[in-house]
Amino acid sequence: MANKKSKKSTQASPASEAAEARKVAPKKAQAKKAVAAKKDANVKKATSAKKTTKDKKNAKPGFLARTKKYFAQVRSEMKRVVWPSKKELVNYSVAVVVSLIAVGVVIAVLDSVISGGLVLFSGLRG
């Protein structure tokens, strides 16, 4: 029986629940209105910001401004370049020259083989 009494004493009466609901309802309504007002303000700001950004995007900068921006970007990219050392540069240059010679020899050999085959096929030289 002790449990039944403690449960009854902890439960709120229907009248007190209704009073609390009346107190909370206006606060919720005010909060909803404030949230709605903030959303409207944000939407207005966003649309006005979109219009100004579109206007700025559509406005083409002048020739000197574009040229200045171009050279600034070139300078920025040149700072990022990893330049080879002198030893690496010599090695790369030698590799390029050797590959050029090898390709040249292959092309010369193929040219002489193909021309010899055409001579034998057609019998133009005699």
Q: What is the pLDDT of residues 39-77, one digit of tens each?
A: 777 777 766 666 666 666 677 889 999 999 999 999 999
Looking at the whole model, is its pTM more than 0.75?
no
Backbone angles phi, psi at 10, to 5 degrees: -85, -20
> What is the secondary structure of 41-55 as a DSSP string?
HHHHHHHHHHHHHHH
Which residues, other chains included, contact 92 with Cβ-Cβ below 8 Å and sequence gap of 6+? 84
Q: What is the pLDDT of residues 90-106, one digit of tens each?
A: 999 999 999 999 999 99
Place of tokens 């903030």: 38
Mean pLDDT: which of 21-30, 96-105, 108-117 is highest? 96-105
Instruction: Provide the mean pLDDT of the chain.
Output: 80
